[in-house]
C-alpha cells in the first residue's frame, strides 16, 4: 500500500522515543496495524541508523572507549555469563554490534603485538569463535544476534532480501512479457553504473514513461531518495 508523508512522519516521530529492540518493533506493529512488518522494520532501521550517525563521534573518543572497556571488564568479573556488553550498548544508546566492535578492537590492542586489521575484526565479528577470549567471544555473539539494525547477521539478511526482490522483479517482468536487459548483460556491453533492469521498450506507468528499474529492498524516505539520486540515479539518465 502507498504510505502518505503524514503517515510516515507519524511513524518516524513514534520511533524517537523507543529503543532499537525487537520488543519495540512488536509495539510499533500494534500501534500501526495497517502497515506491513517489512515496511515498519525498514523505517525503524533507517531512523535508527540516522540516529547512530548523529551520535557516532561521541562514542569514538578515547575517553569514551576507555570508559566502556573498563565497564565491560568490571561487569564480566562480576558475572561473565551476563549480557554485559549488550546491556552497556542499550544503556548508552549505541548499536550492540558497533559496541562489540569497539570493545573487541580495544581488547586486541591490549593483547596483540600489532594493531588488528579491519579484515581480522570483521572476521571475528562474523565468527566470534575466532576471538581468543571465550568470555568476550560470548559477549560479542550476544551483541550480534540481538542487533536488528547493524552487524554481520543484519548485513547477510539485507543482502538476501535484496537478491530476493531482484528475483521477484525479474519474474514480474517476464510475466508481463516485457523485454529487458539485466545488470550482467549491461556490464558485458561496457556500462559502468547500471540499474537492475533496463527496459528495451519503455512502458507508461501512471502517466510516466519508465526506461529502467532499480530495485531497493528498503523504504524510500526523502533522505534515501536524495542519496540514491546522487550516488546512482543521475548516472542512469543516459
pLDDT in tens, 55-74: 999 999 999 999 999 999 99
Residue range 126-183, pLDDT digits in tens: 999 999 999 999 999 999 999 988 999 999 998 998 899 999 999 999 999 999 999 8
Mean pLDDT throughout 79-104? 94
Report, in angstroms and rounded to the nearest whole number, the Rg of the chain calculated over CA atoms. Answer: 22
pLDDT at 20: 65
Q: Are 213 and 196 in contact (CB under 8 A)?
A: yes
- pTM score, two decimals? 0.84
Is pLDDT above 80 for 237? no
| Alpha carbon distance 155, 152 (integer Å) | 5
**Spatial separation of the C-alpha atoms in residues 66 and 102, rounded to whole Å:** 10
Query: pLDDT higher for 23 or 107?
Result: 107
Amino acid at each position: 500500500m502507498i504510505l502518505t508523508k503524514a503517515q510516515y512522519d507519524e511513524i518516524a516521530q513514534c520511533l524517537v522515543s523507543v529503543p532499537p529492540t525487537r520488543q519495540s518493533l512488536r509495539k510499533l506493529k500494534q500501534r500501526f496495524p495497517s502497515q506491513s512488518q517489512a515496511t515498519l522494520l525498514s523505517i525503524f532501521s533507517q531512523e535508527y541508523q540516522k540516529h547512530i550517525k548523529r551520535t557516532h563521534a561521541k562514542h569514538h573518543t578515547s575517553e569514551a572507549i576507555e570508559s566502556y572497556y573498563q565497564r565491560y571488564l568490571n561487569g564480566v568479573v562480576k558475572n561473565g555469563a551476563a549480557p554485559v556488553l549488550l546491556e552497556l550498548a542499550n544503556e548508552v544508546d549505541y548499536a550492540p554490534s558497533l559496541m562489540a566492535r569497539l570493545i573487541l578492537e580495544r581488547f586486541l590492542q591490549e593483547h596483540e603485538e600489532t594493531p588488528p586489521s579491519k579484515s581480522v575484526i570483521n572476521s571475528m565479528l562474523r565468527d566470534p569463535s575466532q576471538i581468543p577470549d571465550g568470555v568476550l567471544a560470548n559477549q560479542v555473539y550476544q551483541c550480534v544476534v540481538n542487533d536488528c539494525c547493524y552487524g554481520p547477521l543484519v548485513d547477510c539478511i539485507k543482502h538476501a532480501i535484496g537478491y530476493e526482490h531482484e528475483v521477484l522483479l525479474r519474474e514480474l517482468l517476464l510475466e508481463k512479457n516485457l523485454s529487458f536487459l539485466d545488470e550482467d548483460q549491461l556490464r558485458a556491453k561496457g556500462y559502468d553504473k547500471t540499474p537492475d533492469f533496463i527496459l528495451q521498450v519503455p512502458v507508461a506507468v501512471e502517466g510516466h514513461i519508465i526506461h529502467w528499474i532499480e530495485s531497493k529492498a528498503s523504504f524510500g524516505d526523502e533522505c534515501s531518495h536524495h542519496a540514491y539520486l546522487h550516488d546512482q540515479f543521475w548516472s542512469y539518465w543516459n
